[in-house]
Amino acid sequence: MLVVLDICMICFLAKYFIKDYTSVKDAKVRQQYGVLSGAVGIFLNIILFVSKMVAGFITGSISIMADALNNLSDVGSSVVTLVGFKLSGHEADEEHPFGHGRVEYVAGLIVALLIVLMGVELIRTSFGKIFSPGEISFSPVVAGILVFAILVKLIMYFGNKEAAGKIESPALNNTALDSISDVFTTSVVLVCAIITSRTGIMLDGYVGILVGLLIVKTGIEAAKDTIDPLLGEPPSKEMVKEIEETVISHENVLGVHDLVIHNYGPTGLFMSLHAEVDARLDLITVHDFIDDIESELRTKYSSEVVIHMDPVVIGDEDTEEFKRKVKFIVRELDPVLDIHDFRLIHSKDKERRVAFDLSVPYKYNLKDSEIIDYLVQHIRGVEPGIECDITIDKTERL
């Protein structure tokens, strides 16, 4: 039954209110999903707030009234979600050349903070109820109101969770988490009210504190999900692997490294990477197929793409021999380290220069300067006086 009701929520309504509702990668479609979710949330949470406040006044239960206020805060959260998606869909302008996509993350963060504040307020109110308990009455009407609220919140959870998955939205995912938290909250309140009416044991304040703590926990977890993309987080390993396989599948590409993805919102990705190619290839030929790869990635990921071409000398025995020696030195330092983009540069007027990138984990027991000093010392032990140009490439995938 809940699954059927779930389908009748956001994703079902999208078929009637969102043009091209299946094009979930499109910025305008994503925006409309968010606005629809916010509007539905406002409508349903107002109904829940009013019904629970009626139940709270009937019973005199602080936990039921606090649960009602929690739904009132959800109205505010839905307004933030709606406004956030509206703003995130605005085009880039002079002040925001990368668009407004991150507003969606800000909206999700505000929702998370509202969840935390409501949890803290519920804890504060519940302490007062412990020290000053009052009479609590209970009736089938009140039980029906709370059961109705639980069902509505379950529907909202599944609906927002499905929509969040479709458009990959942290803001909608936070809204879904808030809804499932409310399901647990109202369920505990209902059980508490039944026990109190049957036994006379005053659990109202204690249950309120427990519910408040759970709400705060949910809010903190939701905040982390939106803070990470705002601060900047690495792409998933699956996405990195997929991009690398796409690039390396082209005939003239020998290797891929230094992939960087900047997230300016779910539909505002900016991608850069280095593609290794045979140095003997014609420059115009390389430029043409690099353009083709950029176009493919741009279409596939709705991303701005820049690919830097790294020429690799193939078949030069001197270069290959020196590369083997450098690799041996790196393995002696730590087998987990790896080199790429290796070049041995010859010059008539200057000393020879070796240049390469070294992949080092973010959490490593040596400083970058210590690693470079070690490598320079040992490389110059192989060839005194050679210039060394070593770039540390931080990674978590070693």
pLDDT of residue 300: 82
To the nearest whole percent, how much of the chain has pLDDT over 70?
86
What are phi and psi for residue 314, nearest 5 degrees?
Answer: -115, 135
* 67-89 pLDDT tens trace: 787 787 777 777 776 776 766 66
- DSSP output for 28-54: HHHHHHHHHHHHHHHHHHHHHHHHHHH
Residues for the chain: how many in total? 398
Sign, CA dihedral 115-1-37-11, equals positive
Residue listed under structure tokens 């070049």: 343
**Nearest one of 212, 234, 274 to 66, comparing CA atoms:** 212
pLDDT of residue 265: 66
The model's confidence at residue 2, banded by pLDDT at 50, 70 and 90, is very low
pLDDT exceeds 60 at position 108: yes
Instruction: Compute the distance between CA of residue 48 and CA of residue 64 in angstroms, rounded to an integer.
Output: 11
pLDDT exceeds 50 at position 307: yes
- Least-confidence region, from 229-238, 309-318, 329-338: 229-238
- Least-confidence region, from 134-138, 342-346, 359-363: 134-138
Distance from the Cα of residue 90 to its chain's centroid: 21
pLDDT of residue 379: 92
Taking the CA of residue 235 as centre, how many other CA atoms within 13 Å lie in the half-sphere pointing to its CB?
A: 22
pLDDT exceeds 50 at position 277: yes
Instruction: Compute the distance between CA of residue 131 and CA of residue 62 in angstroms, rounded to an integer.
Output: 12
Contact 99, 22 (CB under 8 A): no
* 360-376 pLDDT tens trace: 888 888 899 999 999 99
pLDDT of residue 4: 40
Distance from the Cα of residue 382 to its chain's centroid: 47
Average pLDDT, the chain: 80
**Host H or E run for residue 270:** strand 269-278
pLDDT of residue 8: 47
* 152-203 pLDDT tens trace: 988 888 888 888 888 777 778 878 887 887 888 788 778 877 887 777 777 7
User: β-strand 338-345 against 353-361: which pairing, if any?
Assistant: antiparallel
**Nearest one of 127, 141, 133 to 58, comparing CA atoms:** 141
In DSSP terms, which residues pair with 393 in a beta bridge?
A: 359
Q: Which domains does the chain have, with CATH numbers?
A: 2-231 (1.20.1510.10), 237-312 (3.30.70.1350), 317-395 (3.30.70.1350)
pLDDT exceeds 60 at position 7: no
pLDDT of residue 90: 67
The model's confidence at residue 290, banded by pLDDT at 50, 70 and 90, is very high
pLDDT of residue 6: 42
* 201-250 pLDDT tens trace: 777 677 778 777 877 887 787 788 778 777 777 777 788 888 989 999 99
